[in-house]
Amino acid sequence: MIQTITDKYEKWLKADLPEDLRSQLMKLSDDEINDCFYKDLEFGTGGMRGVMGPGSNRLNIYVIRKVTRALALYCICNSGKSRAQGIVISHDNRLHSREFTLEAAKMLSSYGIKVYIFDDLRPTPELSFAVRKLGATAGIMITASHNPKEYNGYKVYDRQGCQLTPGKLAPFLDLLKSMGNEIDTQYGDYKPAGEIITLGKEIDKSYISRVKSILLNKDLDKSNLKIVFTPQHGTSLEIAKKLFKDLKYRVTYVTEQCTHDPLFSATDSPNPEMPEAYNLALEYAKKVDADIIMATDPDADRCGIVIKDKNGNYRLFTGNETGAMLIDYVLSQRKALGKLHENGIVFDTVVTSSFGRKIAEYYNMRVESVLTGFKYIGEKIRSHEKARDYEFEFGYEESYGYLLADFVRDKDSLQALTMILEMTNYYLLQGKTLDVVYDELQQKFGYHRDKLYSIYFEGQFGKMKMDSIMEGLRNNPIKEICGNKLAYFEDYSKSASYNPDGEFINYIELPPTDLLKFYFDDGSTIAIRPSGTEPKCKFYYGVVGKSQEEVDKKPDAFHEEVKNIIGL
């Protein structure tokens, strides 16, 4: 029976709620009631993520119980060994993260499933590592990544330490839909209940050891490299400190952001993609004349950098730019050391810059592009591992996610910190700052500029607006942009490409998703997709040109014209 918004709201009113949720519920306006109950919170590209509060479209203990009950049944149905193998749970620094972790553990235990929970918050990549290390059947990460403080989230990992991809997610979501109203969710009564085991430093030591194993030039002189680091109040702090100490780096910490503050009080943004995330760190950098600022997001899967350039100014690198430099450094050094596989493979995403691909192909690497979401890279790693055809070398996405070694099957900021610092130091010892290194790569492979714009569409009608924009562009593709003619376009919802007149060209061997990508005769691209984790539409512009000046101007011009085309 389909429940109306009023039915769902009244059911919550009658429930025996914790005082904080009841207080929030009673203060909701009519519009807020609609937004809290018009749908159930959904899984996107990065799991389930939403604003905390009362309602089916909010994250709270009842939604946590419901989704965890579905996961328990999913695991038990998949394998009779799931109860003994267990499920690992970790969490970030956000409000209610520990509470949600304990609720999830209680639900799993009630179904006889052994549960591993860390003694405190831990990074997302360490959760992925722990699932593999412990031979667990699944993993849960309670986090909203880089979202604002009002959010929290729930990521689910398979036994490979990879987030659930569509094929595995579908039966889980079917179970979730059958759970009924979140308020009615009951615990299991399996006897004996599953043991709840607390994990301490032993997993940390194993994980840090594996991270250090990715080093290529271990004996570089580090005495002159000056580093500023911020965990943005998040989970990387303790692991990063131990790592930096072991590697003998000289690090200045942004003290105000080295507390696990769920309100993110000392940062203007916990998202390392945003320039304002570095405001306080820049003050520190200028005081100590730092060569590099490094920032991780709250759950420590993303890593961003600001470097001091050849003129002494501080410059924020994009994920595409850092990824391109890492590809060149890692592949060139592995080649020099005789460690580069002849059958090596590099992974990026369909909205990642073409620049990294060109560099990887120069080293005779196979390059495969996957859909947005690092789970698809994790899935590909496993696929080639089973086929024994290609050896993993590197994986990355434009949103500051990098993976150097596959003992983790998600993006890993601790691996990124380790290799970016080695790379920075390597070039500084040659008298080169990273802006010089990047410009040399552009001189060799062509000038590229990739820029992401996001437009927010909040609430129920925002989703309708995004759907309308995507449908309009499918029916009337962008034929010309700033004088550049459309060569062809890809509609990933149909897994197919088309010529400018809409005639079919070929199929795309990727799962269907809500994404359009346009290719123009100058080599530039535009990709447009609704976010899988936030109420916004993302516009990715990848431009190429003959000079830095030319490519710096193009993305803004493209975006203004696209906004006019779609009526914004």
Domain CATH for 300: 3.40.120.10
Domain CATH for 487: 3.30.310.50
Q: Model confidence at 10, in pLDDT bands (50, 70, 90)?
A: very high
Q: Which candidate, 235, 214, 251, places its Cα nearest to that of 422?
A: 214
Burial tier of 433 (Cβ tally within 10 Å: 0-12, 13-18, 19+) = buried
Does residue 175 carry a pLDDT above 70?
A: yes
Give the residue numbers spanning the domain of 499: 447-566
**How many angstroms separate the CA atoms of 348 and 346, rounded?**
7
Does residue 1 carry a pLDDT above 70?
A: no
**How many angstroms separate the CA atoms of 205 and 128, rounded?**
15
The pLDDT score that the predictor gives to residue 267 is 98
Burial tier of 170 (Cβ tally within 10 Å: 0-12, 13-18, 19+) = exposed
For residues 557 and 437, membership in a common domain is answered with no
Q: Is residue 210 part of a domain?
A: no
The pLDDT score that the predictor gives to residue 525 is 96
CA 299 to chain centre: 10
The pLDDT score that the predictor gives to residue 3 is 80
For residues 288 and 348, membership in a common domain is answered with no
553: part of which helix (H) or strand (E)? helix 548-566
Does residue 54 carry a pLDDT above 90?
A: yes
For residues 110 and 22, membership in a common domain is answered with yes
Q: Model confidence at 564, in pLDDT bands (50, 70, 90)?
A: very high
The pLDDT score that the predictor gives to residue 534 is 75
Q: Is residue 211 part of a domain?
A: no
Q: Is residue 215 part of a domain?
A: no
Lowest mean pLDDT of 121-135, 329-343, 525-539, 553-567, name the range.
525-539
Q: Which candidate, 129, 110, 99, 296, places its Cα nearest to that of 199?
A: 129
**How many angstroms separate the CA atoms of 490 and 540, rounded?**
14
**How many angstroms separate the CA atoms of 425 and 135, rounded?**
37
Boundary residue ending a domain (168, 202, 236): 202
The pLDDT score that the predictor gives to residue 535 is 82
Q: Is residue 147 part of a domain?
A: yes
For residues 389 and 499, membership in a common domain is answered with no
Residues with Cβ < 8 Å from 143, sequence gap 6 or more?
91, 92, 94, 97, 124, 152, 153, 155, 298, 299
Boundary residue ending a domain (283, 300, 316): 316
The pLDDT score that the predictor gives to residue 191 is 96
**What would the DSSP string read from start to end of 162-183?**
-BPPHHHHHHHHHHHHTT--GG
Does the reported pTM lie above 0.85?
yes
Q: Is residue 207 part of a domain?
A: no
CB 369 within 8 A of CB 352: yes
Count structural domains, the chain: 4
The pLDDT score that the predictor gives to residue 276 is 98
The pLDDT score that the predictor gives to residue 2 is 59
For residues 496 and 409, membership in a common domain is answered with no
Does residue 567 carry a pLDDT above 90?
A: no
pLDDT per position as a tens digit, 338-349: 999 999 999 999
For residues 370 and 451, membership in a common domain is answered with no
For residues 158 and 37, membership in a common domain is answered with yes
Select which of 90, 128, 145, 413 is catalytic.
145
Residue 432: helix, strand or coil by DSSP?
coil
354: its two tokens: 């073409």
pLDDT per position as a tens digit, 494-534: 999 999 999 999 999 998 999 999 999 999 999 999 887 67
For residues 269 and 179, membership in a common domain is answered with no
pLDDT per position as a tens digit, 332-380: 999 999 999 999 999 999 999 999 999 999 999 999 999 999 999 999 9
In the chain, helix, strand, coil percent, each to 5?
40, 20, 35
**What would the DSSP string read from start to end of 82-96?**
HHHH-EEEEE-SSTT
For residues 310 and 458, membership in a common domain is answered with no
For residues 436 and 455, membership in a common domain is answered with no
Between 46 and 138, the more confident residue is 138
Boundary residue ending a domain (259, 281, 316): 316
Q: Is residue 212 part of a domain?
A: no
CB 85 within 8 A of CB 78: no
Q: Is residue 208 part of a domain?
A: no
For residues 557 and 501, membership in a common domain is answered with yes
For residues 267 and 352, membership in a common domain is answered with no
The pLDDT score that the predictor gives to residue 70 is 97
pLDDT per position as a tens digit, 257-270: 999 999 999 999 99
Q: Which candidate, 106, 198, 89, 194, places its Cα nearest to that of 140?
A: 89
pLDDT per position as a tens digit, 432-478: 999 999 999 999 999 999 999 999 988 778 888 999 999 999 999 99
Does residue 307 carry a pLDDT above 80?
A: yes
Residue 454 annotated as catalytic: no
pLDDT per position as a tens digit, 204-239: 999 999 999 999 999 999 999 999 999 999 999 999
Q: Is residue 128 part of a domain?
A: yes
CA angle, residues 125, 130, 131, in degrees to nearest 5: 100
Q: Model confidence at 46, in pLDDT bands (50, 70, 90)?
A: confident
